[in-house]
């Protein structure tokens, strides 16, 4: 996300045409006007002015608030919708996206069945504990080595067949009170729990994927022979402001599933 031009005023309305001035504080900056409006709307999303699932003001209202044209607001919202931060509903308005939406459930779950309709796996929580962040986990989550993290280990099964072995690390400060009991009793998507009870919404992620062979531990949890080929995906998920809030390492058994991604 491009930053709001440094010449924005305190009322929330951008000043000028989006071109940075020749101020003495540094080099000139330029940000298209719609990018400035996008940044201001994102700030409102981040601050919680409009909650997940709520409708945001109309384009006309936002144009009046920011003192820009409706077309500029529409272009800003187009980008926010493309990034899944908001969702347009025909004839109803524009709503803040939420992980509780049916369409959002498979946004971060990329393992699809070779046959049949995609559906949610059954979860079995193996372990949940608070611990000090190992150096590599701290680096990826932008924490200090030794900072508290919540560690989660679980197995996900499709129709009774263990298919995914996952380990997650979450910043301890953000996820105080997250327990195995809470994860077990919560029936919705895990990201929905993070959003509704911990105020943390995952808006984008980066992944590294490689092929690995199952070690003894993975083989036991996934009910396969040691050495069985697995797909390993390491994901770092981010919330507003590009703040890393989850590290997830998953081992996928792909004998009846495949990893699917849409490239655009």
Instruction: Please give the CATH architecture assigned to the domain spanning 102-259.
Output: 3-Layer(aba) Sandwich (3.40)
What 3-state DSSP class applies to 16?
coil
pLDDT tens-digit readout, 148-179: 999 999 999 988 999 999 999 999 999 998 99
**Res 23: pLDDT:** 42
Contact 193, 186 (CB under 8 A): yes
Q: Which residues contact 217 (CB under 8 A, 6 or more apart)?
A: none
Q: How far apart are CA 246 and CA 45, in angstroms?
A: 20
Residues of the chain with CATH 1.10.10.10: 1-97
Which residues in the chain show pLDDT less than 70?
A: 1-30, 99-109, 263-264
pLDDT tens-digit readout, 228-246: 999 999 999 999 888 999 9
Q: How far apart are CA 180 and CA 160, in angstroms?
A: 21
Q: Which CATH number fits domain 1-97: 1.10.10.10, 3.90.550.10, 3.40.1050.10, 3.40.50.2300?
A: 1.10.10.10
Q: How far is CA 110 from the centre of its chain?
A: 14
What pTM was computed for the model?
0.67
**Res 145: pLDDT:** 87
**Res 100: pLDDT:** 58
**Res 29: pLDDT:** 59
**Res 97: pLDDT:** 80
What 3-state DSSP class applies to 222?
helix
**Res 2: pLDDT:** 38
Q: Cα–Cα distances in Å, from 254 out to 61, 84, 118, 158, 189? A: 49, 28, 14, 12, 22
Q: Which residues contact 24 (CB under 8 A, 6 or more apart)?
A: none
Contact 74, 60 (CB under 8 A): no
Q: For the purposes of burial, counting CB atoms within 10 Å of the CB of 139, is it exposed (0-12), middle (13-18) or buried (19 or more)?
A: middle
């Amino acid at each position: 996300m491009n930053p709001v031009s440094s010449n924005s005023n305190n009322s929330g309305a951008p000043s000028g045409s989006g071109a940075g001035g020749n101020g003495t504080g540094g080099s000139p900056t330029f940000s298209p006007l719609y990018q400035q409006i996008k940044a201001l709307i994102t700030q409102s999303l981040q601050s919680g002015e409009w909650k997940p699932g709520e409708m945001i003001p109309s384009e006309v209202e936002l144009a009046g608030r920011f003192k820009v044209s409706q077309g500029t607001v529409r272009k800003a919202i187009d980008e926010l919708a493309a990034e899944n931060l908001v969702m347009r509903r025909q004839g109803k308005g524009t709503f803040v996206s939420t992980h509780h939406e049916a369409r959002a459930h498979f946004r971060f779950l990329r393992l699809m069945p070779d046959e049949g309709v995609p559906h949610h796996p059954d979860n079995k929580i193996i372990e949940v504990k608070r611990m000090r962040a190992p150096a590599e986990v701290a680096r990826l989550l932008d924490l200090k080595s030794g900072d508290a993290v919540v560690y989660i280990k679980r197995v996900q099964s499709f129709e009774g067949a263990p298919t995914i072995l996952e380990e997650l690390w979450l910043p301890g400060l953000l996820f105080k009170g997250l327990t195995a009991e809470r994860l077990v009793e919560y029936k919705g998507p895990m990201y929905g729990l993070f959003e509704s009870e911990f105020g943390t919404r995952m808006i984008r992620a980066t992944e590294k994927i490689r092929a690995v062979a199952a070690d003894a531990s993975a083989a036991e949890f996934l009910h396969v022979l040691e050495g069985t080929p697995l797909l390993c995906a390491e994901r770092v998920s981010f919330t507003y402001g590009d703040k890393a809030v989850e590290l997830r390492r998953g081992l996928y058994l792909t004998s009846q599933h495949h990893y699917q991604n849409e490239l655009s």
